[in-house]
Amino acid sequence: MSVAAEKMAELLKLPMEVVTFGEEFDPIYVYYKNGDEEPIPIYCDKGGKFGMQEIYKALRNMMFVLSFHPKHSALKRIRKEVMLFS
């Protein structure tokens, strides 16, 4: 999952941070966070074993949808990039 999230962040030129806990957690979540705003969950693996391409596609789709939200207008400028990687 981290490979797909890292690839998405790199292609969109967004910073990425991996936060781990002392214990292993199932499921694993990916969040989008802008500055001091509350993080938004954009993907959950639900404890499954999904391939990198499936996870990447799900992340790309959520970033595209999020780019239309008025509160996240900064993502509007990366909308084309998200679609280019379809």
Question: Does the structure show a pLDDT above 60 at 85?
Answer: no
The residue whose two tokens read 């379809």 is 86
Average of per-residue pLDDT across 65-82: 80
> Mean pLDDT score of the chain, rounded to an integer?
78
Domain boundaries, the chain: 2-15+24-84
pTM: 0.71
Render pLDDT for 23-65 as a digit per residue (tens, 0 to 9): 666 777 888 888 788 888 888 877 667 788 888 888 888 888 8
